[in-house]
Amino acid sequence: MLITARVVRSVVLSAVTGCATAPATPAESPATTAKKSEDAKTKAAAAEKARLDKIAAAESADADPRSGDGLRKASRPPAELITGPNLVYVFNFKNSPVGIAAKERCESEAGDDRAAYSACIEKARSKVPVELVRFIKEPSGEHWYVTYNRYKGNLLKWHRVQFQPGKESEDRITLNLFGKDKGIAPMAKVPSHLEIELPNDYSIVVNDPDIGPMMYDAKIGTMETD
């Protein structure tokens, strides 16, 4: 009986000791918990950024499939858009072919002489007698193509020719000109038509028979009714 008791005490003691010495799972430190949380936030932010980038790329591709520059097509029919009230188109010499050619020639001729370059550009620009154009639709229904040029500090109606809107598509229109030029510098021969391109709501390209493609930027201004 004594042996049995000792054996029992030995077994119980071993069991208790074994339980007491079993390794416990260490608790995570606050630093470890914070790091895991920060990693999860970083992954979520990266996934959200990737999603937004994908959406932005798709929208950019859809904006203007022709040029890829993000400019949308004209929102209204060309004849309606160009005859908007108080709408004036300002000639963009710098970005028109005639201006680009002048820049290349003047750089070649003037070299590093900036004064000579500026004088060359100014002379080239003065040979294009137009500052602004308007396409006017009067209450009577008449349409007028009017160009403006500066002369001795004054902005004058250089050309003023009546037209009828012709063939029209999504981004271009033909203006059929007729009658005499009633401007102060009338054309010797009025062309039968002008081709107008509308890449977007904010610019047009007039294919002038003498000068070539001329770019214009749309502006809203206050001018008298012609």
CA distance 133 to 175: 14
Question: Which of 44-58, 59-73, 88-102, 142-156 is predicted least confidently?
Answer: 59-73
Q: How confident is the model at residue 132 (pLDDT cuts 50, 70, 90)?
A: very high
Residue 175 tokens, joined = 């203006």
Neighbours of 215 (CB within 10 A): 21
pLDDT digits (tens, 9 = 90+) for 61-92: 443 333 434 455 667 889 999 998 889 999 99
Neighbours of 119 (CB within 10 A): 13
Q: Are residues 185 and 121 in the same domain?
A: no
pLDDT score recorded for residue 16: 41
pLDDT score recorded for residue 5: 44
- 4 has a pLDDT exceeding 60: no
Task: Please count the structural domains in the chain.
Answer: 2
Q: Are residues 160 and 179 in the same domain?
A: yes
Q: Are residues 174 and 213 in the same domain?
A: yes
Question: Which of 24-28, 29-33, 51-55, 74-78 is predicted least confidently?
Answer: 51-55
Q: Are residues 137 and 200 in the same domain?
A: yes
- H/E stretch holding 219: strand 212-220
- 55 has a pLDDT exceeding 50: no
- Domain span at residue 211 reads 78-93+130-220
* Between 121 and 66, residue with greater pLDDT: 121
Q: Are residues 89 and 138 in the same domain?
A: yes
Average pLDDT over residues 177-202: 93
* Between 130 and 70, residue with greater pLDDT: 130
- 146 has a pLDDT exceeding 90: yes
- With respect to residue 17, please indicate whether it lies within any of the assigned structural domains: no
Q: How confident is the model at residue 51 (pLDDT cuts 50, 70, 90)?
A: low
Residue 39 tokens, joined = 């990693």
pTM, whole model, 2 decimals?
0.64
- 110 has a pLDDT exceeding 70: yes
- H/E stretch holding 91: strand 87-91
Q: Are residues 167 and 103 in the same domain?
A: no
- With respect to residue 71, please indicate whether it lies within any of the assigned structural domains: no
Closest to 202 in 3D by CA, of 70, 94, 103: 70
Q: Are residues 84 and 150 in the same domain?
A: yes
Q: Are residues 202 and 99 in the same domain?
A: no
Q: Are residues 88 and 172 in the same domain?
A: yes
Residue 89 tokens, joined = 């188109």
Dihedral (C-alpha) 101, 133, 142, 224: value to the nearest 10 degrees? Answer: -170
Q: Are residues 123 and 182 in the same domain?
A: no
- What is the CB-side half-sphere exposure of residue 44 using CA atoms within 13 A? 6
Map residue 155 onto helix, strand or coil. strand
pLDDT score recorded for residue 150: 87
